[in-house]
Structures are given as structure tokens and as C-alpha cells.
Amino acid sequence: MGARITSPSMESAPMNRAAALYRSAIFKKAIMAITGMVLFGFVLSHMTGNLKIFQGAEKINHYSEFLREFGQPVLPYKGFLWIMRLGLIGAAVLHIWSAIALTLDNRRARPKNYELRRPVQMDYASRTMRYSGFIVAGYIVYHLLHLTSGQAHPDFVHGDVYSNLIIAFQNPLVAAIYVVVNILLSFHLYHGLWSMFQSLGIDHPAVKGLRRPFAATFAVVICLGFIAIPISIVTGLIQ
């Protein structure tokens, strides 16, 4: 603490421009919002695709193959899939980077905390973003080893998505992990999908009232869509 010295104003040079953006919390938050939107787009289409399991083994296995062949012959086999994967990895890295950088800055902004603090209107979802995000990140690693590459799966067969899923979720513990993490994801989205409009400055009167319903609807839809699968398998609805 103590008196603060303000630095002289910056010269207009490209390096300084980049440095100002890199320091800027509003810019980092915009990165977080855009990458969050990309991840949300993925999560939504992933959830929709997964629901094909309810149409039977053939449909979902075919879907998996379709993703690998998509774009051929312009792209090589799995070309499209890898473009998507790289884009998502990039989005996830930037999202996590901005989350960590902003969190550290925000901690520094209040070196001494209050003895007593009574929040007024922040909600459970908003105050747990870091935790829900962190747990979802850990889960993504497990999930890839489990159902994409198979190392964390007891009996993995490449290409047979249907039986991989059935075997995986017959284990109640595994089914429970998936259900719990996807509920956490929906909390993350409940705040995030609303927050991203605010971060990007989208609050035109025509959309303002729709931001919260939009976030709540997709948080619930995504959660139900994902957890329907482990629940249906562990309870024997699909075999």
C-alpha cells in the first residue's frame, strides 16, 4: 500500500498497443467470453450427437465414423476432426489462461480482506466459476482417456462407441462421476452464458431480457442431455 505513482502516458507504438491489450482485463474477459462461446458451441453439438445412442448402436457408431470421414476427399481421413480438436484445445487453453490471469489480478486488488462480508446478490454459480471450471477441466482429461482413446476404459474397442458406453456406465461410480460433473458444468454455463453478453457489451434492450433465460435454458438442456445417457445405462433402460 502507500502512495501510488502513475506512469507517464504510453507512446503509440505497436508494441505498446499489444502490451496495453495484454494487460487489459476487459480484453482478457472478451477472450474468455469468445472462447467460452466456442466451448459452449462444442458442448451443445457434442450433447446432441451423443443422443443418437437412443436410436441404437448402428446410428451412434455411424455418427462416430461420419465425424472421421467428414470433409473427404478435400481433407484427409480425420482431417476435419483434427481441425475441430485443435480449435477446441486452443479455445480451452485461452479460456483457462484468461481465467487464471484475471483471478490472480483480482486477488492482488484486495491485499487485505474484510473481517465480515455479506454478499448481496451474487449467486452460487457465479461464486463457484473457478471451481466448476477447474473440475470440468480435470474431467475432460479423464473423459478423453476414457471414451476417446480408451486407456481409462476397462474394455475399449475402437469404433464401437455403443458398447464402449454401455460397458462404461454399467459401473455406477463412473456413471455418478459423469452425472455430477455435468451438473457442475451446467452451473458454469448458467453464469457463463449470461456473463459473456455482459463481457462483450451485448445488452441492447431487444436482447437484454433474453440473456438470463437463454443461459438458464441451455444450462438445463445441456445438463439433461448429457446425464440422460449414464442414467439410462446404469438403470438398465438401454442395454
Among 28, 31, 36, 187, binds ligand HEM (CB under 6 A): 36
Question: Which residues from 34-93 bind other proteins, rule CB under 8 A?
Answer: none
Q: Any idea of the CA torsion for 87, 91, 94, 96, to the nearest 10 degrees?
A: -130
CB atoms within 10 A of CB 77: 13
Question: Which residue of 15, 73, 113, 173 would you call a contact of other proteins, by CB under 8 A?
Answer: 113
- What minimum distance in Å lies between the beta carbon of 236 and other proteins? 42
Window of 42-50, 57-65, 88-96, 112-120 that interacts with other proteins by CB under 8 A: 112-120
What cell does 30 get? 472478451
Provide the 8-state DSSP code for 203: -
Grid coordinates representing 153?
A: 476404459
**Taking CB within 5 to 8 Å according to partner kind, which of ligand HEM, other proteins, none is near residue 210?**
none
191-210 b/e with 16+ CB inside 10 Å = b?
bbbbbbbebeeeeeeeeeee
In the complex, the residues that contact ligand HEM under the rule CB under 6 A are: 29, 32-33, 36-37, 39-40, 43, 92, 95-96, 99, 126, 129-130, 133-134, 136-137, 188-189, 191-193, 195-196, 199
